[in-house]
């Protein structure tokens, strides 16, 4: 296994399109044909014409060598959507839609330049003089938009695109400073992935965007460092895809961060999968295919072996907190996955993949306040106006041991928007199954209950099992707890609503309909800050290789007879179920706060059967290599109870933070994220320190700072022990100090201090705003001690 895996991770393939049904020329021609709609729109723009498609289609035409006369009008139309007012925060960005009156989505400049920069780098000599003039002027202005667009590194797809654009715009315009800034931002993404994993994890849409960005950097960047980073991240992303691949349905399996297709879990990544030969048939006809077609790097064939190794356990982090992790247990005919925290309003944190074919409905949990369990009703997302199927964002946590997972949802004050008319927790299941059992009885699903304007409803008592069988695989669900807004028990039910999507659902209705009413109350918003709101606990079990009826019946009866252990009172809820490794348990306190998970979450970039292959892939690229050398070499700083001070430049200073000189600073040096004082600039990077704390207790942290204005007066503080967060990016507002002064760190001014355990810790200081300067740090157990 180790030899095969190492080979798969280290081979770089620069080759034609393996397994792709079309030639490159045919594929580009198909892109051009698909873009005809954009050309028609550009003549008389409809209200929802997007800026992005104009630049994509211009690139497609240049690649196809067709209709060169169209490129200049397309570019001119795009320039009409550009913000040219230097007084605006959005200066240099684009209106996303033609009818927008202002910039509402700051990602627009990134999606436009993703095509515009390659258009210049690959085809400027073929463009008309007028097209070159318009394109260069657009890139000059858009470069400012990209510089102003400060993207947190955990916003993976846009952070990569922003770095890619600055790198390539710098090359196109001959501006070294632009490319240098792009390199700095790419460095920060690499370090963030090393520390926290890919935060937009296992997304069938945004993994496609990530791959496109990395392919363009690898193929076009003139920075050897950026190319090396892109190749490493490409290897990581494709290893991630292989590890989480559910082969029977030819798609990514398991939980994910952002999904536009809840039912079947496919998206933009299909373009890359098609080009790599992982999917059968021709690629979809879309102009966006041009971006991956410009890439050279192809995933090594050996990765397909990882995708068919059974059973396998995948664990990976996707954030700074301990519980921001996921587990995915993959068998040949079924997979079970649980995320230990919620991500956003399009995530699927508890899933089962079962059955064959890409049209097979997935099993998934969804917290629903719009009666949209299948993600079919799109609504506008914020000011951007982008139409998406959004679900609620309650407290969520889960634990998993191989084929058993327990997930808990708790709806806290603020989780349910005012005016919400329904509140349901669903576990959606495929309807096309071989057998379905509810409460120990076999159920025959009615073919078309919707035609009779009635749902087929099968009530289940708390703890009764719902079991489905598909081929040689099975999955079972039990609702261990279900409560309403008054914390009273409610009854879950299997519901076959006759939808055209091939799905049924196990639903907990947290709000009862009023007697004699067909509709729920007008407002189901929960209130009360310290007590339980509506909750539900789901126990999922998966079973594979059940070769005959007897094997399935034994598996089913064992699950039906297995019982959970539960403690539920006003102060804490604990749910435990038997599993292959002993038990799976989750403990929370009201209104929704994690206490404990068992098995404990794993901190890993990408762990494959206990081995963090993700860290192996990234270990030798910069800035990870320098960070490791500083953090792993030498001895940690020994902290004395009476207090120890140290120079901030003595740690690992990486990403956007730099060491600078000042004779007034201790040792003549300080650390900062460079920026103009008072300019509202954002920043990234960090300074990291290994510390040895002699004893547990209430410690005080001081910093010697110089912060010239209220716009440049704060940092973030994080503390980790063995990779686990003891303090996660706590704000440190130090106030304005125009001269060097000592300031005490406090998240609570009434009780400043840090509760730290004994042992080795890692302290991380990150800039919250640029131009804030840090000279020295002091840590003490003496509550009266002050640094000199």
Helices (DSSP H) in 124-155: which residue ranges?
129-148
Spatial distance between the Cα atoms of 437 and 558, rounded to a whole number of angstroms: 13
pLDDT in tens, 672-717: 988 888 876 667 788 999 999 999 999 999 999 999 999 989 999 9
- Same domain for 333 and 291? no
**Close Cβ partners of 121 (under 8 Å, ≥ 6 residues apart):** 168, 171, 172, 220
User: Considering only CA atoms, which of 562, 609, 569 is closest in space to residue 589?
Assistant: 569
- Same domain for 91 and 162? no
CA neighbours closer than 13 Å in the CB half-sphere of residue 55: 29
Question: Does residue 319 surpass a pLDDT of 80?
Answer: yes
User: Considering the domain boundaries, does residue 701 fall inside one?
Assistant: yes
Which of 276, 305, 334 delimits the end of a domain?
305
Query: With helix as H, strand as E and coil as C, how does 217-249 read?
Result: HHHHCCCHHHHHHHHHHHHHHHHHHHHCEEHHH
User: Considering only CA atoms, which of 734, 779, 739 is closest in space to residue 756?
Assistant: 779
Contact 169, 217 (CB under 8 A): no
Say which residue, 683 or 489, is predicted with more confidence: 489
667: left (phi over 0), alpha (psi -120 to 50) or beta: left
- Same domain for 563 and 692? no
Question: Does residue 526 surpass a pLDDT of 90?
Answer: no
Task: Note the pTM of the prediction, 2 decimals.
Answer: 0.91
The confidence score (pLDDT) of residue 602 equals: 92
Query: 226-230: which pairs have CB atoms within 8 A and are 24 or more residues apart?
Result: 226/167, 226/182, 226/183, 226/186, 228/621, 228/622, 229/186, 229/187, 229/190, 229/621, 229/622, 230/297
Q: Tokens in use for 326? A: 């996921």
Q: What is the mean pLDDT of residues 288-300?
A: 96
- Same domain for 360 and 244? no
- Same domain for 494 and 588? yes
Spatial distance between the Cα atoms of 222 and 214, rounded to a whole number of angstroms: 14
Q: What is the mean pLDDT of residues 515-544?
A: 74
pLDDT in tens, 402-418: 999 999 999 998 999 98
**CA-to-CA dists, residue 149 to 84, 157, 181, 319, 433, angstroms:** 15, 14, 12, 22, 48
Query: Helix 68-79 crosses helix 129-148 at what angle (to 10 degrees)?
Result: 40
Helices (DSSP H) in 248-403: which residue ranges?
269-275, 290-293, 303-306
Confidence band (pLDDT; 50, 70, 90) for 764? very high
Q: Tokens in use for 170? A: 């710098």
Contact 465, 455 (CB under 8 A): no
Spatial distance between the Cα atoms of 96 and 81, rounded to a whole number of angstroms: 8
User: Considering the domain boundaries, does residue 11 fall inside one?
Assistant: no
Q: What is the mean pLDDT of residues 270-297?
A: 91
The confidence score (pLDDT) of residue 699 equals: 96
User: Considering the domain boundaries, does residue 132 fall inside one?
Assistant: yes
Of 51-55, 349-353, 467-471, 509-513, the one with minimum mean pLDDT is 509-513
Q: What is the mean pLDDT of residues 118-147?
A: 98
- Euclidean distance between the first and final Cα of the chain, in Å? 57
Look at the block and give the residue holding tokens 């090396």. 228
The confidence score (pLDDT) of residue 2 equals: 39
Angle formed at CA 417 by CA 415 and CA 419, multiple of 5 degrees: 145
pLDDT in tens, 425-468: 999 999 999 999 999 999 999 986 555 567 999 999 999 999 99
Contact 556, 497 (CB under 8 A): no
**Close Cβ partners of 123 (under 8 Å, ≥ 6 residues apart):** 62, 63
Look at the block and give the residue holding tokens 């392919």. 215
The confidence score (pLDDT) of residue 454 equals: 78
- Same domain for 274 and 359? no
**CA-to-CA dists, residue 507 to 229, 521, 537, 634, angstroms:** 45, 18, 12, 56
- Same domain for 142 and 78? yes
- Same domain for 368 and 333? yes
Of 61-65, 274-278, 345-349, 452-456, the one with minimum mean pLDDT is 452-456
Task: For residue 185, count other CB atoms closer than 10 A to its CB.
Answer: 26
Angle formed at CA 434 by CA 432 and CA 438, multiple of 5 degrees: 90
Give the total number of structural domains in the chain: 4
- Same domain for 199 and 135? no
Using CA atoms in the order 219, 220, 223, 224, what is the torsion angle rounded to 10 degrees?
Answer: 20
Q: What is the mean pLDDT of residues 242-266?
A: 98
Q: What is the mean pLDDT of residues 613-634?
A: 92
> What is the average pLDDT score of the chain?
92
Confidence band (pLDDT; 50, 70, 90) for 524? low
Of 200-214, 283-297, 334-348, 399-413, the one with minimum mean pLDDT is 283-297
Of 472-486, 548-562, 658-672, 742-756, the one with minimum mean pLDDT is 742-756
User: Considering the domain boundaries, does residue 786 fall inside one?
Assistant: no
Q: Tokens in use for 485? A: 């807004």
The confidence score (pLDDT) of residue 572 equals: 97
Q: Tokens in use for 530? A: 């310290």
Contact 671, 656 (CB under 8 A): no
Look at the block and give the residue holding tokens 């209106």. 95
Spatial distance between the Cα atoms of 212 and 289, rounded to a whole number of angstroms: 9
Angle formed at CA 765 by CA 764 and CA 771, multiple of 5 degrees: 160
Question: Does residue 59 surpass a pLDDT of 60?
Answer: yes
Collapse the DSSP code of 547 into the 3-class scheme (helix H, G, I; strand E, B; otherwise coil) and give the result.
coil
Spatial distance between the Cα atoms of 75 and 116, rounded to a whole number of angstroms: 9
Q: What is the mean pLDDT of residues 515-534?
A: 62
Spatial distance between the Cα atoms of 269 and 205, rounded to a whole number of angstroms: 6
CA neighbours closer than 13 Å in the CB half-sphere of residue 228: 13
Confidence band (pLDDT; 50, 70, 90) for 527? low
- Same domain for 231 and 177? yes
Look at the block and give the residue holding tokens 């406090």. 746
Report the CATH number at residue 691: 2.60.120.260
The confidence score (pLDDT) of residue 717 equals: 95
Q: What is the mean pLDDT of residues 329-333?
A: 99
Task: For residue 2, count other CB atoms closer than 10 A to its CB.
Answer: 8
User: DSSP secondary-structure letter at 681?
Assistant: -
- Same domain for 583 and 718? no
Spatial distance between the Cα atoms of 330 and 542, rounded to a whole number of angstroms: 10
User: Considering the domain boundaries, does residue 675 fall inside one?
Assistant: yes
Question: Does residue 194 surpass a pLDDT of 70?
Answer: yes
Confidence band (pLDDT; 50, 70, 90) for 14? very low
Task: For residue 690, count other CB atoms closer than 10 A to its CB.
Answer: 18
The confidence score (pLDDT) of residue 725 equals: 81
User: Considering the domain boundaries, does residue 724 fall inside one?
Assistant: yes
The confidence score (pLDDT) of residue 156 equals: 97
Spatial distance between the Cα atoms of 135 and 68, rounded to a whole number of angstroms: 14
Question: Does residue 597 surpass a pLDDT of 50?
Answer: yes
User: Considering the domain boundaries, does residue 372 fall inside one?
Assistant: yes
Collapse the DSSP code of 260 into the 3-class scheme (helix H, G, I; strand E, B; otherwise coil) and give the result.
coil
Look at the block and give the residue holding tokens 């935060």. 199
- Same domain for 110 and 216? no
Question: Does residue 7 surpass a pLDDT of 50?
Answer: no
Spatial distance between the Cα atoms of 217 and 219, rounded to a whole number of angstroms: 6
The confidence score (pLDDT) of residue 723 equals: 73
Look at the block and give the residue holding tokens 């048939």. 281
The confidence score (pLDDT) of residue 515 equals: 46
The confidence score (pLDDT) of residue 533 equals: 93
Q: What is the mean pLDDT of residues 217-224?
A: 98
The confidence score (pLDDT) of residue 56 equals: 98
Of 156-160, 266-270, 586-590, 625-629, the one with minimum mean pLDDT is 625-629
Q: What is the mean pLDDT of residues 652-672?
A: 92
Q: Annotate 601-625 with DSSP letters as a single string.
A: PP--SSEETTEEHHHHHHTTSTTHH
Collapse the DSSP code of 109 into the 3-class scheme (helix H, G, I; strand E, B; otherwise coil) and give the result.
helix
User: Considering the domain boundaries, does residue 446 fall inside one?
Assistant: yes
User: Considering only CA atoms, which of 147, 160, 148 is closest in space to residue 192?
Assistant: 160
Which of 94, 115, 147 delimits the end of a domain?
147
Contact 293, 32 (CB under 8 A): no
Angle formed at CA 336 by CA 333 and CA 339, multiple of 5 degrees: 155
CA-only gyration radius of the chain, Å: 27
Spatial distance between the Cα atoms of 701 and 727, rounded to a whole number of angstroms: 13
The confidence score (pLDDT) of residue 12 equals: 38
Spatial distance between the Cα atoms of 672 and 713, rounded to a whole number of angstroms: 11
**CA-to-CA dists, residue 689 to 154, 157, 721, 773, angstroms:** 22, 29, 12, 17
Cα dihedral 151, 152, 158, 164 sign? positive
Which of 550, 570, 602 delimits the end of a domain?
602
Task: For residue 256, count other CB atoms closer than 10 A to its CB.
Answer: 30
Confidence band (pLDDT; 50, 70, 90) for 363? very high
In the chain, the percentage of residues whose pLDDT exceeds 90 is 81
Backbone angles phi, psi at 585, to 5 degrees: -145, 150
Q: By residue range, what is the domain housing residue 104?
A: 22-147
Spatial distance between the Cα atoms of 766 and 187, rounded to a whole number of angstroms: 15
């Amino acid at each position: 296994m180790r030899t095969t895996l190492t080979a798969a991770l280290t081979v770089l393939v620069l080759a034609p399109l393996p397994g792709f049904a079309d030639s490159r020329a045919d594929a580009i021609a198909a892109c051009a044909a698909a873009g005809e709609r954009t050309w028609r729109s550009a003549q008389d723009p409809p209200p929802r014409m997007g800026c992005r498609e104009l630049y994509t289609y211009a690139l497609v035409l240049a690649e196809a060598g067709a209709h060169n006369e169209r490129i200049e009008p397309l570019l001119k139309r795009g320039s009409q959507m550009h913000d040219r007012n230097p007084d605006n925060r959005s200066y240099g960005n684009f209106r996303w839609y033609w009818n927008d009156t202002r910039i509402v989505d700051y990602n627009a400049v990134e999606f436009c330049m993703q095509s515009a920069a390659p258009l210049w780098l690959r085809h400027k000599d073929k463009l008309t003089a007028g097209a070159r003039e318009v394109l260069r002027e657009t890139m000059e202005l858009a470069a400012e938009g990209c510089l102003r667009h400060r993207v947190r590194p955990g916003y993976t797809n846009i952070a990569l695109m922003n770095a890619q654009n600055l790198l390539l715009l710098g090359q196109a315009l001959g501006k070294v400073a632009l490319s240098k800034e792009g390199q700095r931002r790419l460095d920060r993404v690499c370090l963030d992935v090393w520390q926290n994993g890919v935060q937009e994890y296992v997304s069938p849409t945004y993994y496609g965007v990530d791959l496109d960005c990395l392919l363009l950097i690898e193929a076009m960047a003139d920075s050897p460092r950026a190319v090396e980073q892109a190749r490493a991240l490409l290897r990581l992303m494709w290893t991630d895809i292989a590890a989480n691949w559910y082969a029977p349905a030819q798609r990514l399996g398991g939980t994910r961060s952002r999904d536009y297709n809840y039912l079947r879990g496919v998206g933009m990544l299909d373009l890359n999968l098609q080009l790599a030969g992982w999917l059968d048939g021709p690629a979809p006809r879309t102009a966006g295919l041009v971006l991956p077609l410009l890439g050279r790097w192809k995933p090594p064939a050996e990765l397909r072996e990882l995708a068919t190794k059974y059973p396998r356990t995948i664990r990976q982090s996707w954030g700074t907190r301990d519980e921001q992790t996921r587990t995915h247990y993959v068998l040949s005919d079924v997979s079970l996955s649980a995320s230990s925290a919620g991500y956003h309003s399009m995530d699927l944190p508890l899933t089962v993949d079962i059955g064959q074919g890409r049209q097979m409905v997935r099993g998934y949990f969804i917290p629903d306040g719009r009666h949209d369990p299948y993600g079919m009703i799109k609504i506008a997302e914020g000011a951007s106006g982008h139409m998406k199927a959004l679900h609620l964002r309650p407290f969520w946590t889960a634990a998993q041991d191989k084929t058993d997972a327990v997930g808990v949802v708790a709806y806290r004050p603020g989780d349910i928007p005012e005016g919400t008319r329904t509140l349901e927790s669903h576990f959606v299941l495929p309807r096309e199954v071989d057998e379905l059992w509810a409460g120990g009885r076999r159920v025959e699903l009615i073919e078309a209950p919707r035609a009779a304007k009635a749902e087929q409803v099968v009530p289940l008592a708390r703890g009764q099992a719902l079991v489905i069988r598909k081929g040689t695989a099975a999955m079972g669900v039990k609702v261990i707890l279900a409560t309403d807004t008054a914390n009273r028990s409610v009854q879950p039910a299997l519901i076959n609503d006759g939808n055209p999507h091939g799905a049924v659902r196990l639903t907990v209705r947290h709000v009862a309909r009023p007697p004699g009413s067909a509709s729920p109350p007008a407002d189901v918003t929960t209130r009360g800050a310290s007590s339980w709101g509506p909750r539900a606990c789901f126990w999922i079990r998966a079973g594979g290789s059940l070769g005959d009826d007897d094997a399935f019946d034994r598996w089913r009866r064992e699950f039906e007879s297995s019982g959970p252990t539960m403690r539920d009172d006003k102060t804490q809820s604990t749910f435990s179920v038997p599993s292959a490794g002993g038990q799976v348990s989750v403990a929370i306190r009201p209104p929704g706060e994690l206490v404990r998970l068992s098995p404990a979450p794993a901190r890993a970039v990408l762990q494959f059967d206990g081995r963090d292959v993700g860290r192996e892939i990234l270990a030798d690229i910069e800035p990870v290599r320098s960070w490791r050398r500083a953090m792993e070499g030498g001895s940690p700083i020994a902290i004395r109870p009476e207090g120890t001070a140290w120079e901030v430049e003595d740690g690992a200073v990486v990403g956007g933070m730099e060491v600078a000189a000042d004779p007034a600073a201790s040792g003549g040096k300080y650390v900062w994220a460079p920026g103009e004082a008072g300019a509202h600039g954002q920043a990234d990077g960090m300074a990291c320190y290994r510390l040895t704390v002699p004893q547990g207790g209430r410690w005080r942290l001081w910093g010697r700072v110089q912060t010239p204005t209220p716009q440049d007066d704060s940092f973030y503080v994080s503390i980790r022990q063995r990779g686990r967060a003891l303090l996660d990016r706590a704000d440190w507002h130090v106030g304005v100090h125009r001269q060097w002064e000592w300031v005490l760190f406090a998240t609570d001014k009434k009780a400043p201090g840090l509760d730290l355990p004994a042992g080795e810790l890692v302290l991380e200081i990150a800039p919250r705003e640029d131009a804030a300067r840090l000279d020295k740090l002091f840590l003490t157990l003496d509550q009266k001690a002050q640094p000199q």
